[in-house]
Amino acid sequence: MSMIFFACVVRVRDGLPLSASTDFHFNQDFLECRKRLKALSSILARYPSRGTAKGRDLSIHFLSSGDIACMAICSSNYSTIMAFCFLEELQWEFAASYDTTSISLASRPYAFLEFDNVIQKVKWHFNCTSGSRAKVNWEKVEEEMKFQPPVELKLEDAELMNGLANGGHAEVHVEVVPTYRMQRVTPLGILSLVLNIMCGALNLIRGVHLAEHSFQEDHEVIGNVIAFFLPFLACVFQCYLYLFYSSTRKVKTFILFFLVCSCNVYLYGLRNVWQIAFHIGVASLSSYQILTRQLMEKQPDCGV
């Protein structure tokens, strides 16, 4: 299948991975190609701005500009021009999101973890749509490649093999795909989970009871049924966001909090002021716990 399998953004001077797509492939050829990509990322400063490392089934494409380089693993039959269109768009998105100072000061791998959401979106666009937006840049990239063709490497090149074998820069960053480990669950966090589960159960019970009544006698109160079920789902997702890492957590947290607040205000009359205040208070506590529980800053095991 002709497609992009993996993409990442690295810092050129030392190969430090800044962000990467979070998809997992367990094919042995792909895992081996990822190791070659890691080795290549540590020596990008030796090469021109564009390059391709060809393999039998998979190829690595890279595009560097200034402090950063975007890299991708694609199937070997994927269009080289389209691959560089993808890398150009990814590079533009990253440059628009982060300044050179923050890139230079990054001291740990995947410092811009949240950018994986953008990588996934752009990758999906190139894999799953007609790529009309990419075709606009097709002629421009094709013309640039005529004047400055990408350097061509082989995945089996001795230089990449040496990068895998030695204990230098290529060994500094052990994983290409980040692992998401959250900080410990606090007692206040456990309390917020218990209260959230209780609020979710109350919403579900009231919603089911009201649904039975409305479907039998009154079809006009369907809005109230929905207003009970939506906060139930919001409570479930708030528990999930607290326990597990998710990209754009802040946005999702505010959306869920707004949903709980608006639905409880809508239910005024079926709930009194104190009940509404309790549900909104629990949602506030849960939102605060989600936003304050961060990823663990685990330092890489460096063989330096």
Compute the residue count for the chain.
304
More confident residue, 181 or 52: 52
Angle at 74 between CA 68 and CA 75, to 5 degrees: 165
Whether residue 304 is predicted with pLDDT greater than 60 in this model: the reply is: no
What pLDDT, in 10s, does the model give residues 98-154? 888 889 898 888 889 889 889 998 888 888 765 555 555 777 777 777 777 888 887
**What's the mean pLDDT in 216-224?**
67
Report H helices in 148-216: 158-165, 187-216
The pLDDT of residue 161: 54
Whether residue 172 is predicted with pLDDT greater than 90 in this model: the reply is: no
- C-alpha span between 297 and 177 (Å, rounded): 15
The pLDDT of residue 150: 85
The pLDDT of residue 300: 39
**What's the mean pLDDT in 172-185?**
53
What pLDDT, in 10s, does the model give residues 255-292? 999 999 999 999 888 889 999 999 999 999 999 998 88
Among the residue ranges 122-126, 137-141, 203-207, 231-235, the one predicted with the least confidence is: 137-141
The domains of the chain are located at 4-163, 187-292
Contacts of 242 (CB under 8 A, 6+ apart): 189, 192, 193, 286, 289, 290, 293
Measure the CA dihedral 21/300/154/157, to 10°: 180
Angle at 117 between CA 102 and CA 33, to 5 degrees: 90
Q: Residue 67 burial (CB < 10 Å; 0-12/13-18/19+)?
A: middle
What pLDDT, in 10s, does the model give residues 33-44? 888 898 898 888
The pLDDT of residue 197: 93
The pLDDT of residue 153: 83
**What's the mean pLDDT in 184-189?**
86
CB 229 within 8 A of CB 207: yes
Three-state secondary-structure class, residue 172: coil
User: Which of 34-43, 211-220, 245-254, 255-264 holds the top average pLDDT?
Assistant: 255-264
CATH code for the part of the protein at 4-163: 3.30.450.50
**Averaged confidence pLDDT in the chain:** 81
pLDDT band at residue 217, thresholds of 50, 70 and 90?
low
* Per-position b or e across 228-246, b if 16+ CB within 10 A of its CB: bbbbbebbebbbebbeebe
Measured from the Cβ of residue 48, the count of other Cβ atoms closer than 10 Å reads 12
User: Which of 61-65, 152-156, 220-224 holds the top average pLDDT?
Assistant: 61-65
Alpha carbons within 13 A on the beta-carbon side of 268: 8
- C-alpha span between 12 and 10 (Å, rounded): 6
The pLDDT of residue 160: 58
Whether residue 77 is predicted with pLDDT greater than 70 in this model: the reply is: yes
